[in-house]
Amino acid sequence: MAACLNCGRDLSPRAVACPQCGEPGPAAVPAGAAAGYPPPPPASPVHQPGSVGSVMAAVPRTEPFAIASIVCAVANFFGIFLIGSILGIVFGKIAQKNIAQNPSLEGSGLARMGIIIGWVGLGLLIVFLVLAVGVLGVFSSSTESDVPARLIIPD
């Protein structure tokens, strides 16, 4: 014997609605089916904990700063001189700090590479500047030495 879910009145199993309060009875057509919508699908395995959800959580996340580090460090060699190296080193340090705080993050290798390439880029830039200053120095000193030589010439 069924009873009304709303008011508790005894209902016939074939009652479409409670005669007392109008609550849908045992024979009532589900609202979703009456409206033409398909019935809600049964819980499928993909929504159960332990399958997709945990797989997504288990996929290692790469620290974004590690990627930024290596991109900037490499970009240094493609026209973004100095800034690329400095950003590569700075982003690499940030990435290493974040990865140290959250060991599930990936990218420690990328961050290390970014820092190394950043320093290499800085080193090459310094070498280039030293060479350039040296060449300029030789050039300017040779021209300076010529001027007094001419001035020494007696009238």
Interacting residues toward Zn ion by CB under 5 A: 4, 6-7, 9, 18, 20-21, 23
- Nearer of residues 23 and 106 to Zn ion, judged by Cβ: 23
Q: CB of 9: closest distance to Zn ion in angstroms?
A: 5
- Nearer of residues 9 and 93 to Zn ion, judged by Cβ: 9
Q: CB of 15: closest distance to Zn ion in angstroms?
A: 10
Q: CB of 39: closest distance to Zn ion in angstroms?
A: 24
Q: Which residue has the tokens 């974004």?
A: 64
- Nearer of residues 7 and 126 to Zn ion, judged by Cβ: 7
Residue 109 falls in which region: left (phi positive, over 0), alpha (psi -120 to 50) or beta: alpha
Phi, psi for 127 (deg, rounded to 5): -60, -45
Q: Which residue has the tokens 């009145």?
A: 9
